[in-house]
Amino acid sequence: MRKKIVAGNWKMFKTNSEAVRLVQSLRTRVEKSPVKKNTVIVCPPYTALEKVSGILQGSGIQVGAQNLFWEEEGAYTGEISAKMIKSTGAKWVIIGHSERRRYFKEDENLIHRKIQIALKNKLKVIFCVGETLEEREENLTKDIVGNQVEWGLKDFTHQQLNQVVIAYEPVWAIGTGKTATPEQAQEVHAFIRDILNALFDDTVGRNMTILYGGSVKPQNAEGLFQQPDIDGGLIGGACLKADSFHRIIKAAEKVY
């Protein structure tokens, strides 16, 4: 059975006091209506990681960072290492998000190095892939996503791959209100499994948790989660309010 996950990416939102309010409210909701089957992860900004981890202790909700640096430590002003993230209590890190690829010019090689350092430090990885609108319109979705998966995960062992989940996030659906239809998402998720089978072997394709991300909301979550190759969601905008994030968590509990 593949692990099913609902993860929230807060991006550059929430001061520490706002973060505290959001996770306290989420914790209260989850205590009233417990998460029995799935994994829930919140990914606040670095500044709130330790506080959020403290508040969520014992709640079953896990914590992740949104990025890390590719070296262990050193003279890299402004950067954050895997060890620093671990020291906050976080267990996960998002790598390869399209906003990092776009605004910070992160390429496949850099993303691969980031995944390597995360795994070396025993952080689990949410590895994001996805095509832009132009790429989709030019019929390049499979080339782009296939290449991202291949380079990002190149040379990892089965044991390392067990610590990675993939998030398919079509760039044109992120923050735009335009969700991929369940069928469009399903098609790419199934393709990602095929690529993993070709690169490694069919246990990898079968066992890999693949999340969908891109304007997931309480209203469309169930339809997406019902697809056979969709194992949950990476949620942006809708995770910034406890109520909507919790409704998505409940949709996953209902479907899986």
Q: Which positions touch ligand PEP (CB under 6 A)?
A: 9, 169, 174-175, 213-216, 234-238
Q: Which residue has the tokens 């996503």?
A: 145
Q: Which two tokens stand for residue 132?
A: 């832009």
Which residues touch 88 (CB under 8 Å, ≥6 apart)? 49, 50, 53, 63, 65
Question: Cα angle at 93 between 130 and 32, to 5 degrees?
Answer: 100
CA distance 251 to 77: 42
CA distance 140 to 219: 29
CA distance 90 to 26: 17
CA distance 81 to 73: 6
Minimum CB separation of residue 76 from ligand PEP in Å reads 25
CA distance 255 to 67: 30
Between 64 and 204, CB nearer to ligand PEP:
64
Between 197 and 223, CB nearer to ligand PEP:
223
Beta bridge partners of residue 65, listed in sequence order:
93
Between 6 and 118, CB nearer to ligand PEP:
6
CB-based contact 97:9 (threshold 8 Å): yes
Minimum CB separation of residue 202 from ligand PEP in Å reads 28
Minimum CB separation of residue 75 from ligand PEP in Å reads 31
CA distance 198 to 208: 13
Minimum CB separation of residue 206 from ligand PEP in Å reads 25
Minimum CB separation of residue 98 from ligand PEP in Å reads 8
Closest residue to ligand PEP, based on beta-carbon distance: 236
Between 6 and 235, CB nearer to ligand PEP:
235
Q: Which residue has the tokens 């267990």?
A: 91
Between 34 and 175, CB nearer to ligand PEP:
175
CA distance 118 to 163: 10
Residues annotated as catalytic are 97, 169
